[in-house]
Amino acid sequence: MEPFPWWTEQQKKFAEELYKFVNEHMPAAEKAFWARKFPMDIVRKVQEKGYFGAGIPKRYGGMELGATGCCIAAEQLGRLYAVGHVFVVSMLGGYHQLLHFGTEEQKKKWLTKMAKGQLGAVCITEPFAGSDAASVMTTARKEGDEWVIMGRKRFITGAGPADRYFVYAKTSDDPEVIRRYGHLTAFIVEKGTPGFSLEKINELIGFENVPNGYLNFDDVRIPDENRVGDVGAGWAVMTSGLNFERLVGSAVVGGGLEDIIKMVIYYTNRRVQFKQQTSRFVNNQFKIADMITWNKLARLITYYTAMLLDSGQNAAVEASIAKLLNTDYAIQTGLDAVQIMAGDGLTKFYPVERLVREGKIGQIVAGTNEIQKLIIYRMGVLSYLDMPFRLRIDPELEIPILSLDDSPWKGKEITEEVMLKILAEDYRANPGLYMTIEDLQKETGLGKEKVLELVSALEQKKLVVNFRDSRGNIIMSKANYEGLRRAYPPEHYRYFPSWFDPEELGFFG
């Protein structure tokens, strides 16, 4: 396991130690996989070593290795299959949420237990709520000092072995509160609480010996001290936890990549066809080169995101990218590994096909990869909105070229006629585009109201087309054909490259 240069000495030592620990327990994990048994004995050893406390601050009994430490643990324990998944959901069932939203008493109580290895689970998904996580129907109502939880959760990893369940429930039906995402609250429910039961364990591809199932909350009473964060702050608690979840969830899938690459290299150096080792075929080499590239890229984004979180920065976009790349690369690596090992790759004895199933699970859990793309677009796009250039007609070349976005119209009196000329001039450079109201504000130096007044007046005179948003507000404007005619004579818009002579063809002759 290659350490990153920015890791601390402790993190590097932790990674080395875990690598050895995991190698030692790999055969037992493989046996458990084949026997379809949850490897509780290995989990106990992980607990004894204190690895569940990887990210937990020392004052609560942890190792204080941050999100980076959690990723190192997830990456390595992921090689032990079920152990890694249970480690991850245990972290997800409270670690980040308690650190950021818990009271000091809650941190002392729960983080200390987590550091000792208490198994946890995170409970968001329900029969009614999947990708649309805000639409949970499980309710929590306040009765005296207690909350009464009623509802169901499904697809919960760790359901059964976990002792601590981090549950999101609805605490308001007010449409206005729901519109502001203030209707959810986060709670911790412990195994053994009356009315709380396990309903079903799923048979899932890729989760051969990982318990994942349905939970039933039948008027489960819990004390108010088990509420994490304010009443109505559940969405903030959930989404901040989800960034961490996506990150460690990607690390656990990524952990398998390195072993598979080693397996493929080992295999192709020993398999001979056409009097050559199959590692000598360039198509196999190219596939292995891709796998190495993906492995390095996946780890890079994982640990870069962890570093951002550890330094207190927002990493929502990066966490989604980490999840997207780790899971997509896992599937592609698994598929290519099968192709390189061909018939042997299809046997379950060489565990390369397992990575395809693992990757597929990864593409769906913690928000599907489509949802990650929505997040990456919606949040990522904000960093790209500041466009310092725009296409303008260069006075010498008389063609549109990328120019600094400073306006030749500023300081001039902007009448309706000038506004029309501005829109017509933009047509010369960007014939297919509208100008936004902000573009026009920048271009004219006018305030929004004045710009809207001018483009509305031009619209009434049928000289521009104004584009409106769903609420009917004008957001963009563009000169129409009559507007272009009024703004400038036809020659103003003409441009012909040097190799083209319109007069030769009988135009303007």
Ligand X SMILES: Cc1cc2nc3c(=O)[nH]c(=O)nc-3n(C[C@H](O)[C@H](O)[C@H](O)COP(=O)(O)OP(=O)(O)OC[C@H]3O[C@@H](n4cnc5c(N)ncnc54)[C@H](O)[C@@H]3O)c2cc1C
Task: Compare residues 134 and 433 and give the one whose CB is closer to ligand X.
Answer: 134
Q: Which residues contact 124 (CB under 8 A, 6 or more apart)?
A: 133, 136, 153, 168, 238
Task: Compare residues 3 and 130 and give the one whose CB is closer to ligand X.
Answer: 130
Angle at 51 between CA 50 and CA 57, to 5 degrees: 80
Angle at 330 between CA 21 and CA 81, to 5 degrees: 35
Task: Compare residues 161 and 483 and give the one whose CB is closer to ligand X.
Answer: 161
Minimum CB separation of residue 227 from ligand X in Å reads 18
Minimum CB separation of residue 212 from ligand X in Å reads 5
Minimum CB separation of residue 285 from ligand X in Å reads 34
Segments in 172-233 forming alpha helices (H): 175-179
Task: Compare residues 326 and 477 and give the one whose CB is closer to ligand X.
Answer: 326
Instruction: Please say whether the beta carbons of 154 and 127 come within 8 A.
Output: yes
Minimum CB separation of residue 298 from ligand X in Å reads 20
Minimum CB separation of residue 400 from ligand X in Å reads 36
3 state DSSP class of 200 = strand
Minimum CB separation of residue 441 from ligand X in Å reads 33
Minimum CB separation of residue 131 from ligand X in Å reads 3
Task: Compare residues 127 and 502 and give the one whose CB is closer to ligand X.
Answer: 127
How distant, in Å, are the alpha carbons of 22, 91, 214, 414 from that of 209?
A: 18, 19, 16, 72
Minimum CB separation of residue 249 from ligand X in Å reads 9
Task: Compare residues 345 and 367 and give the one whose CB is closer to ligand X.
Answer: 367
Nearest-angstrom CA–CA distance, 455 and 496: 31
Q: Tokens 């008027």 sit at which residue?
A: 219
Binding site for ligand X (CB under 6 A): 89, 121-125, 130-131, 155-157, 204, 207, 212, 361, 364-368, 370-371, 374
Task: Compare residues 4 and 181 and give the one whose CB is closer to ligand X.
Answer: 181
DSSP category for residue 400: E
Task: Compare residues 167 and 451 and give the one whose CB is closer to ligand X.
Answer: 167
What is the rounded end-to-end Cα distance, in angstroms, of the chain?
A: 75
C-alpha closest to that of 188 among 140, 143, 239, 154? 140
Nearest-angstrom CA–CA distance, 198 and 380: 39
Task: Report which secondary-structure segment, H or E, holds 214.
Answer: strand 212-223
Minimum CB separation of residue 370 from ligand X in Å reads 3
C-alpha closest to that of 385 among 438, 430, 450, 433? 438
For 336, phi then psi, to 5°, come to -65, -35
Task: Compare residues 135 and 466 and give the one whose CB is closer to ligand X.
Answer: 135
Torsion of the alpha carbons at 169, 174, 177 and 183, rounded to the nearest 10: 0
Q: Of all residues in this chain, which one has the CB nearest to ligand X in the complex?
A: 130
Instruction: Please say whether the beta carbons of 294 and 333 come within 8 A.
Output: yes
